[in-house]
Homo-oligomer: A and B are copies of this chain.
Amino acid sequence: MAHKIPHVPEATVARLTTYLRCLEQLEAQGVKTVCSRTIARLAGTNDAQFRKDLSYFGGIGTRGRGYSVERLQEHLRHILNLHRPRHLILIGVGNLGQALLGFPGFHRSPFHIVAAFDNDAKKVGTTVHGVRVRHIRSLARFVRSHPVHIAILAVPAAVAQSIADLVVRAGIPAILNFAPIHLQLPPEILVRQVDLTRELEVLSYVLGAER
């Protein structure tokens, strides 16, 4: 099965999601078939890279024949396991957390935010963008009765590690961390970090010292 193939570079997986975005745009524009060169160009890479990325999963289509936009999307969704429903929780209903609760991608199949958690009594019991806010104390109990695949951490850096430890103890296998801190976690826990400060600092590096 494609998802069990080992040693697929993370950069390849990230590019697969970019190809999927490009195909969704093409479909929205009414395009039915597309050549690999066009997808590669739209995704900011080249034909050879595109073919190599797909080759990890057995490849698809014949060179020069073009791809069905619909079928290639289906193939990529299958590789990315997007046919599996994923239950998400968000922890930290502050400024960023509230915005994330309203982010359409977090409510788009197969992803569903099933609950939010905070320690602020004024927020607990309210509903933000359709999601009920619960007390962080009730996290472990909630997870015992509702399977949760991914915890989104939108808490301050100072408490991020202890909240991440709580998430791990509750048995949640994956974390999307927005706190600007490198979490120390057991190796079996999957983590993706969105660090907005990092993004600015990388741009600052590339901008250089002259401008």
| A contacts, CB < 8 Å to B | 1, 3-4, 10, 13-14, 16-18, 20-22, 25, 42-44, 79-84, 86, 88, 95-96, 98-100, 102-103, 105-106, 108, 110-111, 149-150, 157, 173-174, 176, 180-182, 184, 190, 192, 194-209, 211
Least CB separation from A44: chain B residue = B182
Residues of B within 8 A of A14 (CB): 198, 202
CA distance A157 to B26 in the complex (A): 13
Residues of B within 8 A of A1 (CB): 209
Q: Are B201 and A20 in contact (CB under 8 A)?
A: yes
Q: Are B81 and A204 in contact (CB under 8 A)?
A: yes
Q: Answer whether A192 and B199 are a contact pair too, CB < 8 Å, given A13-B205, A208-B4, A209-B3.
A: yes
Which of B82, B83, B98, B200 has a CB less than 8 Å from the CB of A99?
A: B98
Q: Are A190 and B203 in contact (CB under 8 A)?
A: yes
List the 4 shortest-distance A-B pairs measured between CB atoms, nearest first. A99-B99, A105-B197, A17-B198, A95-B102
Least CB separation from A41: chain B residue = B184
CA distance A132 to B108 in the complex (A): 32
Q: Are A86 and B182 in contact (CB under 8 A)?
A: no
Q: Are A182 and B3 in contact (CB under 8 A)?
A: no
CA distance A16 to B13 in the complex (A): 23
CA distance A43 to B184 in the complex (A): 9
- 9 new A-B contacts at CB < 8 Å, known A22-B182, A99-B99: A3-B205, A14-B198, A17-B198, A18-B182, A80-B201, A81-B207, A105-B200, A110-B204, A149-B203
